[in-house]
Amino acid sequence: MKEPSKEDVFLEELLKGELRAVNFHVPLARKTLAQLLLEEWPRVKCRDGSYHYFKRRELELLKSIVPEDLYDKLRLPIIITRAPELGEGAFIVEGDAEAQAVAKILGLDYDGSGRIVIYSKHVRKLRSLLPTATQYAFSSAYLVI
């Protein structure tokens, strides 16, 4: 048996820190496909202060896939949120334009609800096609204590 030591207190802070830092890599503000296509080195600033760069060929790929009216609406990177409340291996892509684009790339049906639920195999395909134009995030369901 031991006293609650400094290490225990430190550990608890570390755990809370891990929860707080889980979405630090997500961009502060996303940019539209049209905006990014105009930049020489397309990038967005992340919450941790770093920059996330896009590959031009991915932007060109998206440009060729999505309809022209979505260029000003599609915000990048597309955030793939892990949603444990929906079950094992379920992810959500929020936003009408983003959900439309994802449905088109993956050949899925989109019901116009403003979000689309996808699963691990879809995520793998999406990430292999668009490694810089997509990013992971973790849903707030993890953060509720």
Cis peptide upstream of residue 4 (ω within 30 degrees of 0): no
Supply 123's token pair.
Answer: 């995520």
Among 60-68, 95-103, 104-112, 127-135, which window interacts with other proteins (CB under 8 A)? Answer: 127-135
The pairing of strands 75-76 and 31-32 is antiparallel
Among 10, 13, 55, 140, binds other proteins (CB under 8 A): 55
d(CA 65, CA 32) in angstroms, rounded, equals: 15
Selection from 53, 54, 101 nearest residue 74 by Cα = 101
Among 31-39, 60-68, 99-107, 117-125, which window interacts with other proteins (CB under 8 A)? Answer: 117-125
- Output 97 or 123, the one with its CB closest to other proteins: 123
- Contact by Cβ (8 Å): 33, 134: no
Which residues are at the interface with other proteins (CB under 8 A)?
1-4, 8, 11-12, 15-16, 18-19, 21-22, 24-25, 41, 43, 46, 48, 50-53, 55-56, 82, 84, 120, 123-124, 127-128, 131-132, 135-136, 138, 142, 145
